[in-house]
A and B are shown apart, each in its own frame.
Chain A
Amino acid sequence: MDDPIRLLLILIPALPLAAAVLIGLLGPRVLRQQSHWLAIAAVLASFLCSLLLMRELSFLQRAAGAGGEVALGIGYEEVRRLWTWTDVADAYQQPRTPPGESRESLVGGGSRDFRIDIVLRADSLTCMMLVMVTLIATLVAIYSAGYMHGDPGYWRFFAYFGLFVFSMTMLVSVSNFVLLYVFWEAVGLCSYLLIGFWYQKPAAAAAGKKAFLVNRVGDFGFALGVFLIWTTYGTLNFHDSLRGGELEPARIQQAVAAERAGEVVPAEQEPVAGVFGPLRLADNELRPAGQPRTSAMISLAICLLLLLGACGKSAQFPLHVWLPDAMEGPTPVSALIHAATMVTAGIYMIARCTPLFLVSPDAQLVVSVVGGFTALLAALIALTQYDLKRVLAYSTVSQLGYMFLALGVGSLAGVTAGMFHLFTHAFFKALLFLGAGSVMHAMGNVIDMRRFGGLRRVMPVTYITFAVGCLALAGVFPLAGFWSKDAVLGAVHDKVHELEPHDSDSHGPAPHGPAPHGPAPHDSSPHGSAEGGGTQAVERPESSADDDVTPVFGLSNLLRGQIFHWLYLLGLMTSFLTAFYTFRAFYLTFHGPELIPPEAGRHAHESPASMTVPLGILAVCSALVGLLLDRSYLDGTNSFANWLLWTPSLGFPAAMRTTLPGEFHLSVAGWSTLMALGGIGLSSYLYLGSRHEIHGIRQFFDLAWVSGWSDVESFARMRQWRVARWVRECSAAVGLEWLLRLVVGALLLVVLVLSAPLLLLYYVSPYKLSYHRFYLDELYELVLVRPLRGLARLCYGIDRWLIDGTVNFVGRVPRQIGDVMRSLQMGLVPFYALAMVLGLLILLAVQLLG
């Protein structure tokens, strides 16, 4: 084919799919324990194709951008149409708007088609995701060949694996919301299949079901968001096209020019502006039409619905509960799907939808708050878990929270920081998971950290690579995590500064603030002006990207600045906790006295080369990726961010007016390093050498001393004190024993009343909260699962007894009547004759008498 981009775009997903189909067909009989070769080859080829695609794209970008400058403003994309899935012409008739508005003309003269083409796109964001997904998938496939060796479902594993890589590569390369949704569901399905891979294990089957169901909640929101996007923007495509499906940019430009000139063009030639297409982005026409307040409400609704979907897939706060349970699946799956790739689909989606989020600052705030809160919550839970993989799972949730925090900042610095963190996190989290898998492999599938320890001599390669991963996760200076975490915190820090009321600004434009921007004159409805009137002067957006955006929540900039400030502190706090729990797990596993569980048998050994080589490669990547890509500390360039800015939905004019990436914050870096080192230091102090302090600390946080206060036995012991005895003897001598009894009884009552809340506190002590995951699972069980199960039972009962009962009753009535009549059928001819005669007589009697 003469179009290399088209060929590569097709090959990247097609190879894993072909591998999956072939393994599925041939696996059980032919390939068996050799199934991995096909999968590894396909995914590796896919990775090489991704690299080639990246190279092709960078050539094209350089050619388009005149010397590699990013200042072009609308990014660069290559879109290829494979075939048309569905095409319903004029699916929605819109009332024709006055000719003055150009927006409506872009969706095709008042009517819009429901046209879904299978369209693949190549832009920077897609390329970056493709490279990351296929690279991690290749390494994990090699690793799995060792890890899954001898499993009865060997071929099944690799078939699912190929299917997952296909779905994920399609997810990041499609150019349409419906297709995004389709593959969003497809990765969910693969995740379900792989979590429940050992389906004989009840816990695994339940975990798969839980993941699937929790994701449904998010997907419901995502689907509603997609519907709303279609009714708002008239198309679901990311890219611009003509109504006939033509994608050639020159033809589109021609058609737009023709329409602007007022020429009558055939319907096939009318331009359709995609949601993130250059036509819309160049003029920042993403605000929905209508009154400012309505428009803001609609964009907020779209963003929040998309966020709900992202929360489900990326395991953010209300919907994060499935991810830790997903650790029941095979460890390579945890590494690939539940740490490195699939859970980043939500991040990818929000990054892709940056233009939508930019017009709704309220939604950005929600994204950040959800992310920051999740980061802290998950980090707190991870502190006390004993399951090595669960610690890593909560750490994943926490790091994903970081990414959301960055995405919600709403500046390009934030979005690229989030994506950068996603990129580096994929490496070190995959490394950590694979390391944990290696430990599990050697320990005979024991994962409880209390049951093994001191493995650094038994498994030296795993030890070293795991250490690199831990340092990267903790964010220690030269490793990958440091750069991306610093970028995230730096972006939040910038946002705080941006929202702070600067002295010059607050004195300067405030008096004549509302006039030039003028949301008030437009806002003619009394309702809107009444609500917005009080805060109008304060909430005038500082940054030019927020121009004319009507906030829905009505939070002042001051308040938003404070919220972001708290989120920044939360981020620093989380980085301390991250360092602590990471190294807690590390020390518990690899340091201390050597302890090997009996399940490991006598052959606790280092894993085979097929497992250690991917570990080594990932370790090198985790160590170097940040240093190589982020050079903001030298010359203020972050080549990763610069590459990403070529994405149309990131590098468009309105976004380019926000804070750009590339600034290195020495103070932020200093603080975060300090926090990380503090966390590492604390855990080293507690877990290296003798570990007796940790018991005391756990007792303290478990509020064990509270139970001592309100203990009955301690009161009994108090009776034996010398003072108590003396008082008793004295009162006996004076003859006032009854008074003593009364006083002591009253005292006891007071103490009991006081200690009741303390006792309650004892049962929800910080340690217990963390150990029991803040009782969220129990809460969901109580609030959602039980009532829903009750409702299901009720429905079942109604179906079973009321509806089925009625139907069965209707069926049973003729039967019963028939049973009565049966006894008349005795087969005697004289009886029948008599019955006939009697019947005749009755008829005659009726005839004669009636």
Chain B
Amino acid sequence: MNELALLQNYLLVGGLLFAIGLAGFLVRRNMIVMFLSAEIMLQGISVSLVAWGRYHNDWGGQMLVVFIIAVAACEAAIALALVLMLAKQTGRLDIVLWQDLREEGQPAYVDREVPEEREEDQVWPTLTPAGIEPEVDPEEELHRSRV
């Protein structure tokens, strides 16, 4: 395997890690998970740094990654402490609970619960019975309630 192909693969992995982290960061609302996603993005960068270092025959990339890991450890300590404090305040880990920095007059974001379906909404099309009503297996009724 030549050098370029090796680099390509590593960069692919790094990019994938970064994309997964980014997607997780944007999609999830749990503070710890968001933090983990950010860490994953960091690792993606680290991987590509190492790959570039290897490719250029330069130890600088690896040095930098070692630094990143050290700094990330510190950062993790601080971030988890913060998360802990925030979680203690509300008892929950939802980031959306912390939206106090919004502009004055802006409506607060409230989670809209998906409304439960009421009985009367569950109107199903019925056919006029014609002919002989078929025998319905009562066992079948159990797992095919709505047809």
Give the interface of A toward B (CB within 8 A).
822-823, 825-830, 833-834, 837
Contacts and interface: CB of A to CB of B under 8 A. Distances in A.
Interface stretch (B6-14, B22-30, B133-141): B22-30
A447 to B, nearest CB: 66
A829 B102 contact: no
Given A826-B99, A827-B98, A827-B102, 15 more contacts: A825-B101, A825-B102, A825-B103, A826-B102, A827-B101, A827-B103, A827-B109, A828-B95, A828-B96, A828-B102, A828-B109, A829-B34, A829-B98, A829-B99, A833-B25
Interface in B10-54: 22, 25-26, 29, 34
B145 interface: no
Contact of A833 (B26, B96, B101): B26
A833 B34 CA distance: 11
The main secondary structure of chain A at its interface with chain B is helix
A823 B22 contact: no
Interface residues of B, number: 16
A823 B95 contact: no
B91 interface: no
Contact of A823 (B26, B29, B103): B103
B26 A827 contact: no
Contacts of B25: 833
Interface string B82-122: 00000000000001101111110110010000000000000
Given A837-B22, A837-B26, A830 B105 contact: no
Contact of A822 (B29, B95, B96, B106): B106
B41 to A, nearest CB: 11
B103 A830 contact: no
Given A830-B26, A830-B29, A834-B26, A822 B98 contact: no
B95 to A, nearest CB: 5
Contacts of B22: 837
B18 to A, nearest CB: 11
15 contacts: A822-B103, A823-B103, A826-B102, A826-B103, A826-B106, A827-B101, A827-B102, A827-B103, A827-B109, A828-B96, A828-B109, A830-B29, A830-B95, A833-B25, A837-B26
Contacts of B98: 827, 829
B104 to A, nearest CB: 8
A834 B109 CA distance: 16
Contacts of B103: 822-823, 825-827
B105 to A, nearest CB: 7
Contacts of A830: 26, 29, 95-96
Report, nearest first, the 9 A-B pairs whose CB atoms are least far apart.
A827-B102, A827-B99, A825-B103, A822-B103, A827-B101, A826-B102, A829-B95, A828-B99, A826-B106
Contacts of B96: 828-830
A828 B95 CA distance: 8
A832 to B, nearest CB: 9
B106 A823 contact: yes
Contacts of A822: 103, 105-106
Nearest to A832: B101
A656 B102 CA distance: 95
A827 B22 CA distance: 20
Contact of A826 (B29, B34, B95, B109): B109
Contacts of A837: 22, 26
Contacts of B26: 830, 833-834, 837
A830 B26 CA distance: 6
Contacts of B29: 830
A828 B29 CA distance: 10
A834 B34 CA distance: 13
Contacts of A826: 99, 102-103, 106, 109
B108 to A, nearest CB: 8
Contacts of B99: 826-829
A828 B25 CA distance: 13
Contacts of B34: 829
Nearest to A840: B22
A828 B22 CA distance: 17
A827 B95 contact: no
A221 to B, nearest CB: 62
Contacts of B102: 825-828
Nearest to A829: B95
Contacts of A829: 34, 95-96, 98-99
B26 to A, nearest CB: 6
A333 B18 CA distance: 96
Contacts of A823: 103, 106
Nearest to B31: A829
Nearest to A821: B103
B44 to A, nearest CB: 14
B40 to A, nearest CB: 14
Nearest to B38: A833
